[in-house]
Amino acid sequence: MAVTEFELISRFFSRLGAKREDVILGVGDDCALLRVPAGMELAVSVDTLVEGVHFAPHTDPESLGHKALAVNLSDLAAMGAVPAWATLALTLPDSDSVWLEAFSRGFSALAKRYRVQLIGGDTTRGPLNITVQVHGLLAPGSALRRDGARPGDLIGVTGALGDAGLALRPLQDSYHLADACNELQRRLEWPAPRVEAGQALVGIARSAIDISDGLLADLGHVAEASGVGARLQLARLPLSPGVARYVKETGDWSLPLAAGDDYELCFSVAPERRSEAEARVLRAGCELTWIGVIDEEPGVRCFTADGDLLNPLARGYEHFRPA
């Protein structure tokens, strides 16, 4: 059923997410008004999901609502920020109330979980496009940045790598173990932003980033920003059974190294703080795996269990090369 623009905003987006005391004025005026706590730093990030680029047509709208917020919360997590507010710019081909109901349900459930209030946005007509901006809070100078890695740091990741990439592979590849199939799809469509783990690493990690484009690319950003390099031990990468089997049978490491959409955190920690980091991340409900070390030689280098340097041609870059 179609609804008008103003009905749509008031029905689906005017009371979405948590209700926060620091929101002086939310949806409904020309601007939202927010009370930023005295002395705190504001962390801001925006991400867009485009139909046909970031998700397939006819994707479950509830999962889209979740993912649009989740990928943004993942950026706040990577800085160690505490989420607070969000805005939503929606471009819709039509105003389908069934779609909107499901979308707002997915968005709202995740927003409530992290005490995020939707405070405004914009609604336009056109090809489906979802832009979310998030705002989070940080104690001054406490943000986990990309430019703090130092030679000797241990490199850690949360969770497992490559599941979302495997979910996108055609079914006939048959690396989707039947019972793991739903789990892979869930990892792709319902990513869990590592918000608690990011906050747990504040004051401990020297650098952090969330893995949205793939480990090599994202760790590469950290290395470049920090003026260092990284050595990874392939055998240590945390892999689910399906991804482990895929790698074993094909010898292709592109899923855990380059597929992206994992939304795990990758961070570096001085070696003497290793067990403290482990305890904190575990308490935050995440698994932590040490996968390598920061060194001085520029670039990210991957070593096999035999100590050989992985041939860059096997890294999966072929997916991104122009035809």
Which positions touch ligand ADP (CB under 6 A)?
9, 13, 27-30, 88, 90, 118, 120-123
Coil, strand, or helix at residue 248?
A: helix
Verify binding: residue 249, Mg ion, rule CB under 5 A. no
Q: How far apart are CA 99 and CA 284, in angstroms?
A: 34
Instruction: State which residue has the least CB distance to Mg ion.
Output: 122
Q: How far apart are CA 120 and CA 49, in angstroms?
A: 18
Residue located via tokens 């007509």: 125
CB nearer to ligand ADP: pick between 88 and 222: 88
123 binds, among Mg ion, ligand ADP, none (CB under 5 to 8 A by kind): ligand ADP
Q: How far is the CB of 116 from ligand ADP (least distance, A)?
A: 12
Task: Count other C-beta atoms under 10 Å from residue 92's C-beta.
Answer: 19
Select from 29-37, 119-127, 279-287, 301-309 the region that touches Mg ion (CB under 5 A): 119-127
Q: How does strand 205-210 pair with strand 129-138?
A: unpaired
272 binds, among Mg ion, ligand ADP, none (CB under 5 to 8 A by kind): none
258 binds, among ligand ADP, Mg ion, none (CB under 5 to 8 A by kind): none
Helix (DSSP H) and strand (DSSP E) numbers for the chain: 10, 12
Q: How far is the CB of 74 from ligand ADP (least distance, A)?
A: 20
Among 122, 173, 249, 296, binds Mg ion (CB under 5 A): 122
CA gyration radius, the chain: 20
**Strand (E) or helix (H) holding 252:** none
Residue located via tokens 């950026």: 75
CB nearer to Mg ion: pick between 122 and 318: 122
Q: How far apart are CA 157 and CA 264, in angstroms?
A: 7
How many C-alpha atoms does 94 have within 13 Å on its Cβ side? 6
Q: How far is the CB of 252 from ligand ADP (least distance, A)?
A: 41
Q: How far is the CB of 30 from ligand ADP (least distance, A)?
A: 5
CB nearer to Mg ion: pick between 91 and 142: 91
Q: How far is the CB of 97 from Mg ion (least distance, A)?
A: 20
